[in-house]
Every structure is written in structure tokens, then in C-alpha cells.
Structure 1
């Protein structure tokens, strides 16, 4: 026997309307895939904090964070649309623009690069590097090394490969090596080595550190979502530097080798050197970028032979998203 519905038409219509309303309310937040530049650590704390404390969620964003590393080519993954935003560096970005790659910086959470040089205690200034062996990574060869070499009259004969292992430095008093203020400096202290650290930005090195980069097509089609992402990320940094515990829990989940004491050291160094709240961020809000800073980096690269003088360097960034953002504690 054929069954027929006994529900009145009004109930069917009401049910359809309710289902539609429920579906709209249950729509997933807008997805944004972030790829970091290294394994999870304090330098990515603000993003993990925004995820852990629900800041991204509050802005209607579903953010996933994927860790980078020495074998991960962030620019390649960005251009292949396997990431929406990557954490990168202005020198690599300007070189990418020179090569015709479609990528733009949208914010500069780190106003200064955390990169510097770790030396033994006998070296009391960067002027004391003559005759020293200096460990430089492959990426350092095309970023900070040309600057350091020119500024302090060093030679390529002094450079040796840095393999992200601090033991050669520990074993040889004549060795200096590249270092992040938030990691290798701590490792040297734990090893009991009396050392000095020189943050390049405090000696005139111009680039930002850890800029956020997206594809121009994504900026055009999802500008509002990216603006929310930048604002939420900077609010995450404000929160992280006040109480890093929620973000650190996620960092340690992504990177089980990370320790509480190293995370605490990283946070202290970010604060001490005003890596996020210094520079133009002190007056214009965290994450800001300026034409003047980008031009200084462009000029350094041209003078060092890293960038052709006719490269349209202003294609490497847009200040549209950070203008008027004014995120601060």
C-alpha cells in the first residue's frame, strides 16, 4: 500500500526554512592554511596563541598551522596553493618578485629579524671577526652574510657551512656562527659556553623578520578574510606575550622536542629586543610595514648584488591590510 504524508504543507515549508537557517548557522568558518618557516617554537607563538585561545574562531576563521623546516620550500608550497599564507623573509620575497613569482607581503609581525651572530666571549664586537671561522647556512649566504661581509670587511674564505648543529661552535674557540636570539644563544648557555650575541638589526641590518606572505590572487579575492587573519594574529601576539601558556601547549604538541625553558627564553628575548613592538610598530600598531623600511632592504640588496636595480620592488608588498590596523596592548 502506498503511504502518503499526513504533514500539512505549512509544516513542510517551516521545516525547509529551519533547515536552511540551521545550515547557514552551521557553515564552517573561513579556512586559512598557514605555513610557518620552521618547527614550532616561540617565534610562532602568536599564531598558536590565536588558535589556542579562540581568537581566530572569534573572527570567523578556521586556521590550520603547518610547521616548516630546513627541507620545506614555503614559497613553492604557496605558489602551488598548498598554503594560503606563509611566514617568510623580505630578502627571499624580493628575490622571488625579481624572478616573476606572484607573492606579496601583507604584514610584518616581526619588526626586526631575530638573526644574529653567536661568538665566544673573546669577541667583544663585530669588528673582532677577522681571522675567525664563521658558520653560515645556505640561506644565510644570500641574506645576512653579504651584509656582514661588506660591513666588517670579511672574506668568503672565512665562511663554512652551518648545519644547525651547535657542537662545532662549542668545540672551537675560533668559530662564530649564525644564531637566532631565541634558540642557539640558549643552547650555548646550556652547554656552558661563555659567549656573546650580536643581533644584526641592532647594527644596521634592515630587513623585517617573519613577514606574512600571500598570493596576489588570494589578496584580491579574499582580502577581508586576510585582514581578519592579520588582525587576529597580532591580537594573538599581544595575548602570547602576556601569558604564553595556551600557545606553548600547542607548540609542544606540534614539536615534542620543544622544552618549557627554551620557550620561556624565546619569549623573554622577543620582549627584550622589542622584535614585535619596536620600530614603526611602537607608533603604528603591531604588524605594520612602511615603504621606507622596504626601500632600505631593497637598497641593501641592490648594493650587495642580490637584486637587480630595475626590479619593481614595490610589487613585493602591500600596506593596504595593515594600514590603520593599530593592534597593540
Structure 2
């Protein structure tokens, strides 16, 4: 679903995106503003088998085997530029963990809150390492709206941010009720997986900064760093001005 396009085009007033998608959309002239960042630490990770003895992503990329990853992802470009992919066989990522479970020399991209849990439930030995630890840490699950809506009705936007913050605060305090609802919507996941996912994502959402400034907080420095990284990777022609981007968030 082209969420950014739907928000920018006025089909919906709010949506969820990633910080890198917001910046690339803005560079194309899309009318989108970030409001609230759920994940302060990106859950994007590389997962390998514990039996391989890797201590980090550098070890995975230097020790051979197969790596399933979408080459168009900004964090894939970042890792390729930092370490190179010449010592691994890169194959497309097709979702799921079946190939991972079947092959001890197989590594793959993942969300640290999802695929490692699924692989472990299938009897495998996953070890996952956050891409954020390598220096690429965009906000993930970012609530967005249109700049036009912010100008027309800022109080509605503020009310939505407040409601979002309260919803996440309630979920983090006790995810049981939300897990019950999500289990009905996603019958492929069992109750234990929902519990494990809630615990895995908690430290990525709640940080010392959110305890001081509130859930969803975003900083100019983080956005400026990401914009520069995307420009260095060639994803953006140049880093855009950040102040205009954060008029609603700050």
C-alpha cells in the first residue's frame, strides 16, 4: 500500500512510514510531515545462526554463506558501502524463515521483533544484530500527515499525536488486550509469539530520551544525520532542510 502517496494525496489524513521514506518522498515534492516516531531504535537487523559464532554484522558479512536482503533498502546500501558484500552470496529476501531454518550457512535481513522469534519457535538458533549498532538508525513506524492539514487544523493533528502517545503508553504498560485483538487479525501468530514480540520491542520504543521527553520524540539531530547518510549513499541528491520537516513534531 503506497501509504506516503495516500497521505500526501489526501486520501487519508494519517499514516505510518519510515524516516527514510519520508525524506525521499519530500525530495520528490510530496506533502508529508512526520509527527511521532514509535521506534527510537530501528528494529532492522541481520539474523544469522548462533552456531556460526558471529559477534556482529561485520562477522556475518566476512564469513561467507548466503545473505538474503533487499538490495534497494537504504540500510542494505549502507552495509554494503561500509563492509562490502563480496564475501557473501546475496540473494533476494522473500519473507519468512523457512530457508533460514533449513540452512546453517544462511543469514537474512529481519526485524529483531519478528523473524528471530519465529525462527526460534521452529527450533532454530537465531542470533540477530541491529543495523542501528552500525551507525544507521532511522526512526521506524513514523506517524505522518500532510503539511496542509497541519496548517488547516493543527489542533486535530495535536489531538491525534496525544491519542497515539496514550495508546502506546497503554500497550507498553500492559500489551495483553492489544495482543488479543491483533491475534484475531493475524491468526498465523500464536499468543506466545505476541508476548515475545512485545518484550523484544519495548527497549526499542522506550529509551532514556522518551522517559524525559515523552514517547514518539524526534530530534533535529537524528533527522539531519539520516538526511546526510541518504545523500552520501546517493538515495537523495542532497540533504533537505530539516526545520520545515519538523514544524509539527517539534
Give the TM-score normalised by the residue count of structure 1.
0.70
| 2:138 corresponds to 1:207 | yes
Q: Does 1:291 align with 2:220?
A: yes
Question: Who wins on radius of gyration, i.e. which is larger?
Answer: 1
Say yes or no: does 1:184 pair with 2:112. Answer: no
Instruction: Write the distance in 1 (CA, Å) between the matches of 2:106 and 2:242.
Output: 36
Match of 2:232 in 1: 303
For residues 231-268 of structure 1, the C-alpha deviation after alignment (integer angstroms, 9 at most, x for no partner) is 12111111111111221222223323332111101111
How far apart in 1 are the matches of 2:45 and 2:240? Answer: 27
State the shift of 1:313 in Å: 4.6
Change (3 A) 1:156 1:301: farther
Q: How does 1:106-145 map to 2 (within 5 A)?
A: 106-121=35-50, 122=52, 123-128=54-59, 129-130=61-62, 131-137=64-70, 141-145=72-76
Shift of 1:195: 2.1
Alignment match, 1:276: 205
CA deviation string 1:155-209 (max 9, x = no partner) = 4973211111211112222221011111101111012111211011233222111
What's the counterpart of residue 90 of structure 1? 19
TM-score (norm 2): 0.90
Is the contact between residue 113 and residue 210 of structure 1 (CA under 8 Å) also seen in structure 2?
A: no
Q: 1:100 to 1:279 in 2, by over 3 A?
A: farther
Preserved contact between residue 5 and residue 30 of structure 2 (Cα < 8 Å):
no
| Unaligned stretches of 5+ residues in structure 2 | none
**Partner of 2:189: helix, strand, or coil?**
coil
Query: Does 2:82 match 1:151?
Result: yes
Question: Matched residues in 1 for 2:239 and 2:108: separation?
Answer: 33
Cα displacement (A) at 1:279: 5.6
Taking a change above 3 Å as real, the CA distance of residues 199 and 174 of structure 1, as seen in their structure-2 partners, is: same
Matches for 1:209-224 after TM superposition, within 5 Å: 209-224=140-155
Alpha-carbon RMSD: 2.0
Contact 1:113 1:209 in 2 (8 A): yes
Q: Deviations over 1:256-297 (max 9, x none)?
A: 3332111101111112xx211216323221111111000110
Find the partner of 2:173 among 229, 242, 260.
Answer: 242
Distance 1:191 1:310 in 2: 43
Number of corresponding residues: 246
